[in-house]
Amino acid sequence: AQSVTQPDIHITVSEGASLELRCNYSYGATPYLFWYVQSPGQGLQLLLKYFSGDTLVQGIKGFEAEFKRSQSSFNLRKPSVHWSDAAEYFCAVPDRSQGNLIFGKGTKLSVKP
Amino acid sequence: ETGVTQSPTHLIKTRGQQVTLRCSSQSGHNTVSWYQQALGQGPQFIFQYYREEENGRGNFPPRFSGLQFPNYSSELNVNALELDDSALYLCASSRDSQETQYFGPGTRLLVL
C-alpha cells in the first residue's frame, strides 16, 4: 500500500536560515509527488509537484524539492525562510487504485525572528 | 479564474443532527474530492465524484454521502452526527480524476 511519512512533527528555524522538510514515501513504482502548505485555519495550497523528468522541482514562494528514488524521498527546501512561511506542510502521493491523495501527517514550521 | 469555494466557512451542530456542506469546483474541472482533516492530522480521503458519479471512497461509513451536480459543484452530507465528526472538511477539484487537485478554504464543523 502507498504511504507517506513526514518524520518531523514540528520544526523551528530562524528567519533567514535555510529549511529542509523531510518526506519519505512507499509506492512500488515511480510516484507523482506533491507538497502542499496550509496556513492556520486555511485550506491547502499547492507548492510544487513532481511527475517525471528533472528530479529538482521548483515551486512557488521560493521553494524547491528534490526527488531521490534511491532514498524514496522528496524533501522540500528553501534557502532563506521568511516569517510568512510559518505554516503546516504536507507531502502527498496519489492512491494508485483511486484518484485521491494520501497525505503525511504534516510538519509544522515555526519561524523565529 | 475563480478558485475552489466552499460554504459555509464554519458550522456548529449537535450530536445526531444532519449537515450539508457545499463546494464549487474551479472552472474547467469535472472532479471533486472530499477530505476530512481532524485537528493535528493530515487530510483523510472521504470520496471523489467524477462527472456526477462516485469514483472512489475512503474508509468512512455510509452516513457520509455526496452528490455532484451537472455544473460539477458538489455536496457532502453527513447524517447522525457524532462528536468525532468535528473537523475541517476540505474539498478539492481537478481537471480529471487523476489530475492535480486544488483545494478550497474548507468548512470547519464543530459537533457538540
Three-state DSSP state, B84: helix
Q: Give the pLDDT of residue B1.
A: 60
Give the minimum alpha-carbon distance from B78 to chain A in angstroms, rounded to a whole number: 20
Using CA coordinates, name the residue in chain A closest to B34. A100
- Percent of chain B at pLDDT exceeding 90: 93
CB contact under 8 A, B103 and A44: yes
Mean pLDDT score, B24-43:
95
User: Which residue among A34, A90, A99 sits closest to B56, beta carbon to beta carbon?
Assistant: A99
Q: Give the pLDDT of residue A16.
A: 97
Rounded to an integer, what distance in angstroms lies between the CA atom of residue B62 and that of residue A111? Answer: 42
How do residues A5-38 score in pLDDT, each as one tens digit? Answer: 999 999 999 999 999 999 999 987 778 999 999 9
* Selected residue with higher pLDDT from B31 and A31: B31
Mean pLDDT score, A52-74:
94
Mean pLDDT score, A39-49:
92
User: Which residue among B33, B50, B105 sits closest to A42, beta carbon to beta carbon?
Assistant: B105
Rounded to an integer, what distance in angstroms lies between the CA atom of residue B6 and that of residue B23? Answer: 4
How do residues A79-98 score in pLDDT, each as one tens digit? Answer: 999 999 999 999 999 998 88
